[in-house]
Amino acid sequence: MRKKTLLAAALLSASALTLTACGGSAESDKPVASVSSDVATEKAATVLDQPFKKPDLVLTDTQGKKFDLRERTAGKPTLIYFGYTNCPDVCPLTMSNIAIAKKALPKADQEKLQVVFVSTDPEHDTPEVLGSWLKGQDPDFIGLTGDFATIQGGARTIGISIDEPTKDKNGKRVSMHGKQVIAFSPKDDAGYVMYGDDATADDYQKDLPKLLTGAKP
């Protein structure tokens, strides 16, 4: 497996080099590293060797009430994603994929699963905005917003890097969502599985029964 992955990566890098070498007019500031994206992996889930502790985040929920993430989701299977509602593609896609997979679970299991969407654009995503947006995905999803620095700090503890939305020098908008969904085990509350944004509803549907018990997918 490892050898194959390396071989693939080498070939990919070679092609990328060819492309950039010839493309005189191509923009040079774009990194070519993304070429190596998950071609070599079949499974959507990455089981982490060193699980993350659940972020110690106390934020505001869609009702405008204080929400202590660790306290409220203790002992429950939990999926956490950092995104924003002014995001037309990946954020709603990720939430919809999880919503579809969740609906396929038996009712009792659906109630156990905690899906938490933390805003990376809290200035825009008020509790009302977040609540109305999440209702379109699954009314039971938990939406959290609050101070950006607090959210950024919490995201960093589980390896997720986000910056506040901004405008570049030409006035064009730049905004970020987390690249991963992290699954936390009901057994020890540790974040032990990671999904990239290419995970499908089928991937989640296949893995959720295991994530519900804290088993490895």
Burial 6-24 (b: 16+ CB within 10 A, else e): eeeeeebeeebeeeeeeee
Q: Binding residue for other proteins (CB under 8 A) from 48, 72, 96, 126?
A: 96
* Separation of alpha carbons 141 and 134, rounded Å: 7
Q: Token pair for residue 31? A: 């990194």
Burial 46-71 (b: 16+ CB within 10 A, else e): bebeebbebbebebbbbeeeebebee
Query: Which amino acid is present at 28?
Result: S
Q: Is 178 in the site for other proteins (CB under 8 A)?
A: yes
Decide whether 90 or 190 has the Cβ nearer to other proteins. Answer: 90
Q: x/- site string to other proteins, residues 131 to 170, per CB under 8 A?
A: -xx--xx-----------------------xx-----x-x
Question: How far out from the chain centre does Cα 36 lie?
Answer: 19
Q: Binding residue for other proteins (CB under 8 A) from 109, 140, 164, 198?
A: 198
- Smallest gap from residue 53 Cβ to other proteins (A): 22
Q: Token pair for residue 164? A: 């506040």
Instruction: List strands edge to edge, sheet with 114-119.
Output: 45-53, 190-196, 180-184, 78-83, 114-119, 142-144
Decide whether 6 or 74 has the Cβ nearer to other proteins. Answer: 6
Q: Is 190 in the site for other proteins (CB under 8 A)?
A: no
In the three-class reduction of DSSP (H, G, I as helix; E, B as strand; rest coil), residue 121 is classed as coil
Decide whether 72 or 179 has the Cβ nearer to other proteins. Answer: 179
Query: Does 22 show up as a binding residue in the annotation?
Result: no
* Separation of alpha carbons 59 and 144, rounded Å: 6
Stretch in the footprint of other proteins (CB under 8 A) among 61-69, 96-104, 140-148, 207-215: 96-104
Query: Does 91 show up as a binding residue in the annotation?
Result: yes
Stretch in the footprint of other proteins (CB under 8 A) among 52-60, 70-78, 192-200, 208-216: 192-200
Which stretches of the chain bind other proteins, using CB under 8 A?
4, 7-8, 11-12, 14-16, 18-20, 22-27, 30-32, 34-35, 37, 39-40, 42, 85-90, 92-93, 96-97, 100, 132-133, 136-137, 161-162, 168, 170, 172-179, 197-198, 200-202, 206
